[in-house]
Amino acid sequence: MSALMSTYSPLPVSFTHGRGAELFDAQGRAFLDGLSGIAVTNLGHGHPRVTAAVSEQAAALLHCSNIYHIDLQEQVGETLTRRAAMETVFFSNSGAEANEAAIKLARLHGHQKGIERPQVVVLEGAFHGRTMAALSATGNRKIQAGFGPLLSGFLRAPRNDLRALEALSQGHDDIAAVMLEPVQGESGIHPLDLDYLKAVASLCAKNGYLLIFDEVQSGNGRTGSYFYYQQIGIAPDVVTTAKALGNGVPIGACLARGDAAHTFAPGHHGSTYGGNPLACAAAGAVLETLAEDQLQERAEPLGRIIQESFTAALKHKDAVADYRRAGLMIGIELKQDCAELVRLALDAGLLINVTAARTIRLLPPLVMSDAQGRQLGETLAAVVDRWLDQNPVETM
């Protein structure tokens, strides 16, 4: 029996090493990575620049408390804020912690405006993390079940429903911020409607609400620009990121601009490991690689290759209810629950994920070749076809 707490249901495979878009088990079998550790290894496995940066930093200095200046943290912070068109950054260890920082920032912003009990508007279908404030902000009752009482201070609105958001605004004078994922990942890859996002930004500007974008999954080049908001012409006040920021080394960040950039003062927030030298060495290498190799430009064409290869090869085309994509965030929603596909794909040498019960989620690394993209689409189509031969689409 494992000594690990039963918080996961791991698949029957373990990997010894990785290279580019492939992982290898102890027997040397290769698996094509269509998931990137859930949007973490955007630069693929064993990237030489990241490996060298981490190795050199580990030999020099692993950790330094934030009660001292950390030069590398300053350098990465400057690069990241410039890339994001933000002014300041707080480094954490994960996306959930980055979102916790954003929520605290929003509440403090509200208090500084004289709001006694500030509220943050969040959306149904959102996933902001599993720590208590992030869990309370998450719009998934299944994930929240059993962990009550959740934190108060959140108002919930349906996704893409501007009237509902306007009704909340008209009924509450205690709103401090609106927090959303511009591309919802966990709920099945749902890019929010562009007109809706623009209207939300306008509503926030009109009422003095902070607009917070959670780009923990969609950031770091995954959708075709460094952050998704940079391709839709909307500038949030606060943005959070993590996952691929360190390409596997844990690091998250909460970035802010305008009034939000100067809300925190010493003592308001902190993190023992956040932005330590090792994590910043990895993030610095990732930022340099994306800038020099322009890998974010791979997201759209590679995503299209995977989509077209899958669609062309799939025989059971009627089984697909919807196909949603933002760069290399790909959601293929089937007409019936399909969690079994994860295990069947593994048997075929392909790593995928199923979320929201019936949506195949693909998040391959940006370094995947065109040939590997076609292989991913065609292999997945064969797996889905074999499964559907045994499990015909349920009819109402």
Structure tokens at 351: 């790593």
Give yes or no: residues 367 and 240 share one domain. no
Say if 9 falls within a structural domain: no
**Residue 312's closest CA among 380, 230, 234?**
380
Is 216 known to sit in a ligand binding site? Answer: yes
Active-site residue, selected from the candidate residues 214, 227, 264, 310:
214
In Å, how far are 6, 157, 227, 268, 337 from 354, measured between CA atoms?
A: 20, 25, 24, 39, 9
Residue 344 to residue 337: CA distance in whole angstroms = 14
- pTM for the full predicted model: 0.97
Active-site residue, selected from the candidate residues 213, 227, 243, 264:
243
Is 259 known to sit in a ligand binding site? Answer: no
Domain of 250? 48-293
pLDDT value for 261: 98
With vertex at residue 110, the alpha carbon angle to CA 105 and CA 113, rounded to the nearest 5 degrees, is 130
Q: C-alpha dihedral over 96, 97, 103, 104, to 10 degrees?
A: 160
pLDDT band at 394 (very low <50, low <70, confident <90, very high): low
Query: Does 154 participate in catalysis according to the annotation?
Result: no
Active-site residue, selected from the candidate residues 127, 227, 264, 310:
127
Domain count, the chain: 2
Query: Does 31 participate in catalysis according to the annotation?
Result: no
Quick: pLDDT tens for 302-358. Answer: 999 999 999 999 999 999 999 999 999 999 999 999 999 999 999 999 999 999 999
Is 215 known to sit in a ligand binding site? Answer: yes
Is 174 known to sit in a ligand binding site? Answer: no
Give yes or no: residues 172 and 86 share one domain. yes
CATH number at residue 244: 3.40.640.10
Q: One-letter amino acid identity for 218? A: S
Give yes or no: residues 202 and 350 share one domain. no
pLDDT band at 251 (very low <50, low <70, confident <90, very high): very high
Quick: pLDDT tens for 99-116. Answer: 999 999 999 999 999 999
CATH number at residue 362: 3.90.1150.10
Three-state secondary structure call for residue 272: coil
Give yes or no: residues 99 and 176 share one domain. yes
Residue 386 has pLDDT above 90, yes or no: yes
Is 78 known to sit in a ligand binding site? Answer: no
Three-state secondary structure call for residue 180: strand
Altogether, the residues listed in the chain come to a count of 396
Query: Does 127 participate in catalysis according to the annotation?
Result: yes
Quick: pLDDT tens for 274-313. Answer: 999 999 999 999 999 999 999 999 999 999 999 999 999 9
Give yes or no: residues 66 and 184 share one domain. yes
Complete DSSP assignment for 291-327: HHH-GGGGHHHHHHHHHHHHHHH-S-GGGEEEEEEET
